[in-house]
């Protein structure tokens, strides 16, 4: 069911909100800490168009960063396959860089590049790039002997055919990591905006945080969750046609 993700998100969001209100009432917290439901609705009414536009902006950057990462990871994976020495360097480098928190590098990017589309795109790509790269490098260097054997013994195995065979045989792995890294792309965008940008939903959250306005944060979370669910649903629709089982 393609719309399952949206339904799951709505159930999760409503459950979290219910737990939050239950905590508020059981501990007797004030509206300043956890706003009343009516206050959340009033705030939503007031800021929804601004937050909606901000979320769309963030989503566009997340999608662009995600696509950029897929293309780059695929190209580097292919490059790594063609040249085994480059492949070893890429694999080792990717493992090393992946273990380093990108969030810690993000301020350097903002200092060097300032605010704007490019640094946000770069941080987004960096956050979702490495899982993709590791998968692509892994897939393209993993032989499929029962298919490749014929081409190998008849000297007809070209590099592009080899890549095609391996990509086809490991398509579930590739599609799963593409789907999985979509969430990371959105996380990357929000982190980048939260840290230093002057627009986007991450930036709106940072303002809401400085105002200690929980209602705004809850509305931002609702929009982020909803947009991620829609994006994942669309991705699943594109990547996993009906007859293919979802992983």
Residues found near other proteins in the complex (CB under 8 A): 146-147, 149-150, 153-156, 164-165, 168-169
Question: Please, what is the end-to-end C-alpha distance for the chain in angstroms?
Answer: 13
Q: How far is the CB of 210 from other proteins (least distance, A)?
A: 54
39 vs 169 by CB, closer to other proteins = 169
Sign of CA dihedral 70, 92, 80, 142: negative
| Pair of tokens at residue 97 | 């860089």
31 vs 160 by CB, closer to other proteins = 160
Q: How far is the CB of 2 from other proteins (least distance, A)?
A: 24
53 vs 172 by CB, closer to other proteins = 172
* Cα distances (angstroms) measured from residue 145 to each of 152, 157, 170: 9, 12, 13
**Cα 72 versus chain centre, distance:** 15
Distance, in Å, from the CA atom of 247 to the CA atom of 241, rounded to the nearest integer, reads 12
Q: How far is the CB of 156 from other proteins (least distance, A)?
A: 7
146 vs 198 by CB, closer to other proteins = 146
152 vs 237 by CB, closer to other proteins = 152
Widest CA span of the chain, in angstroms?
77
Taking 3-state DSSP, the helix, strand and coil percentages for the chain, each rounded to the nearest 5, stand at: 80, 0, 20
28 vs 145 by CB, closer to other proteins = 145
Q: How far is the CB of 146 from other proteins (least distance, A)?
A: 5
Q: How far is the CB of 232 from other proteins (least distance, A)?
A: 26
Distance, in Å, from the CA atom of 47 to the CA atom of 222, rounded to the nearest integer, reads 13
Q: How far is the CB of 42 from other proteins (least distance, A)?
A: 56
Q: How far is the CB of 63 from other proteins (least distance, A)?
A: 28
147 vs 230 by CB, closer to other proteins = 147
Give the torsion through C-alpha atoms of 66, 67, 68, 74, to 10 deg.
Answer: 110
CB 57 within 8 A of CB 110: no
Task: Give the closest residue to 223 by CA, choosing from 39, 73, 52.
Answer: 52
Task: Give the closest residue to 62 by CA, choosing from 167, 244, 197, 207.
Answer: 197
């Amino acid at each position: 069911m393609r719309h399952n993700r949206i339904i799951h998100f709505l159930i999760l969001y409503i459950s979290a909100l219910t737990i939050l209100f239950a905590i508020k009432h059981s501990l007797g917290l004030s509206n300043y800490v956890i706003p009343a439901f009516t206050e959340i609705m009033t705030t939503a009414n007031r800021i929804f168009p601004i937050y909606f536009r901000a979320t769309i902006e963030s989503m566009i950057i997340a999608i662009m960063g995600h696509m950029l990462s897929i293309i780059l990871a695929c190209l580097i994976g292919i490059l790594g396959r063609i040249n085994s020495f480059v492949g070893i360097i890429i694999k080792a480098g990717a493992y090393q860089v992946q273990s380093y928190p990108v969030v810690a590098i993000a301020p350097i990017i903002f200092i060097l590049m300032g605010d704007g589309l490019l640094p946000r795109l770069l941080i987004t790509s960096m956050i979702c790039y490495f899982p993709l790269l590791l998968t692509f490098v892994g897939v393209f260097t993993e032989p499929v002997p029962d298919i490749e054997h014929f081409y190998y013994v008849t000297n007809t195995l070209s590099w592009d055919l080899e890549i095609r065979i391996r990509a086809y045989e490991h398509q579930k792995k590739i599609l799963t990591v593409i789907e999985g890294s979509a969430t990371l792309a959105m996380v990357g965008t929000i982190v980048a905006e939260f840290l230093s940008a002057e627009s986007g939903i991450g930036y709106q959250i940072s303002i809401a945080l400085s105002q200690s306005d929980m209602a705004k944060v809850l509305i931002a979370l609702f929009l982020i969750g909803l947009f991620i669910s829609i994006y994942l649903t669309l991705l699943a629709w594109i990547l996993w046609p009906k007859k293919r089982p979802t992983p």
